[in-house]
Amino acid sequence: MSNKPNLKLKDIKVEIEGREILKGVNIEIKGGEIHAIMGPNGTGKSTLASALMGHPKYEIISGEAHLNGEDLLEMEVDERARAGLFLAMQYPSEISGVTNSDFLRSAVNAKRGEGNEISLMKFIREMDSKMDVLEMDQKFATRYLNEGFSGGEKKRNEILQMMMLKPGIAILDEIDSGLDIDALKVVAEGVNSMRNDEFGCLIITHYQRLLNYIKPDFVHVFMQGRIVKSGGPELAERLEAEGYDWVKEELGIEDETVGKG
């Protein structure tokens, strides 16, 4: 097998508290590729992100998911992370009393494994340089993890973690929401700096805006808990210009959401 990371989903179905939200998702993301999943609110996009990372609230009831050929669904959350999956969360938790840098170093070391810990100096140098890219003040290193961060600061912090952990496959869940245009550019720059064959990315977003700065290779439209249409970057542009109605019309969908009632 090549070194390129690979995430392959086959007919993934997910329930929350007994209600089916995802109704058969198929997608393959390889190193070097950036995929965007777009869709209106309530169609199950974020559920896909959390379920793949293994949030205990979401139950995958059928389907297959493989990360670099290994069964993702057999892994605990932390094993998924160490295997190279990353989720930039829409609402990252706040952890009081734990500094950003302590947390990041623990995470980096958890991935590197015992006996292979990063030296403190090297870690600091690396974090400093990534924070520069993201135009984050150095004081964020010593602030408590996400505590009192603004929405935009949290998003930058998620990208900082991604850049430090260097995952093979990253899922960015609405990383653009709540960002002004300058912050958006900075975050996009962070993501673009990682673009290479060892990195594949799935961007989940409502808006095409972010995709002006991170050019996707593939665009997928998400409705009723699955991908209903796929295409290239031009699909995103059309969605931005015309909205989602034409897709619904084309596919005969009346209500694009899932799990209502």
Chain residues binding another protein by CB under 8 A are: 53-57, 76-78, 80-82, 86-87, 89, 92-93, 95-98, 103, 106-107, 110-111, 144-145, 161, 165
Q: Among residues 176, 167, 138, 181, which one has the least CA distance to residue 36? A: 176
Q: How far is the CB of 194 from another protein (least distance, A)?
A: 16
Q: How far is the CB of 93 from another protein (least distance, A)?
A: 4
Element (H or E) spanning 19, and its range?
A: strand 19-30
Q: How far is the CB of 162 from another protein (least distance, A)?
A: 10
Q: Among residues 30, 25, 3, 4, which one has the least CA distance to residue 13? A: 25
For residues 103 and 213, which CB has a smaller minimum distance to another protein in the complex? Answer: 103
For residues 87 and 186, which CB has a smaller minimum distance to another protein in the complex? Answer: 87
Give 184-189's long-range contacts (Cβ < 8 A, gap of 24+): 184/209, 184/210, 184/213, 185/213, 186/133, 186/134, 186/135, 186/156, 187/134, 187/155, 187/156, 187/159, 188/213, 188/214, 189/133, 189/134, 189/213
Q: Among residues 219, 174, 222, 199, which one has the least CA distance to residue 12? A: 222
Q: Is residue 156 helix, strand or coil?
A: helix
Q: How far is the CB of 79 from another protein (least distance, A)?
A: 9
Q: How far is the CB of 181 from another protein (least distance, A)?
A: 28
For residues 91 and 246, which CB has a smaller minimum distance to another protein in the complex? Answer: 91
For residues 62 and 106, which CB has a smaller minimum distance to another protein in the complex? Answer: 106
Within a 13 Å sphere around the CA of 18, how many CA atoms are in the beta-carbon half? 1
For residues 54 and 225, which CB has a smaller minimum distance to another protein in the complex? Answer: 54
Beta pairing class for 200-205 and 218-223: unpaired
Angle at 199 between CA 159 and CA 91, to 5 degrees: 30
For residues 25 and 160, which CB has a smaller minimum distance to another protein in the complex? Answer: 160
Q: How far is the CB of 220 from another protein (least distance, A)?
A: 23
For residues 55 and 238, which CB has a smaller minimum distance to another protein in the complex? Answer: 55
Cα radius of gyration rounded to whole Å, the chain = 18
Q: How far is the CB of 96 from another protein (least distance, A)?
A: 5
Q: Which residues face 222 on adjacent strands? A: 227
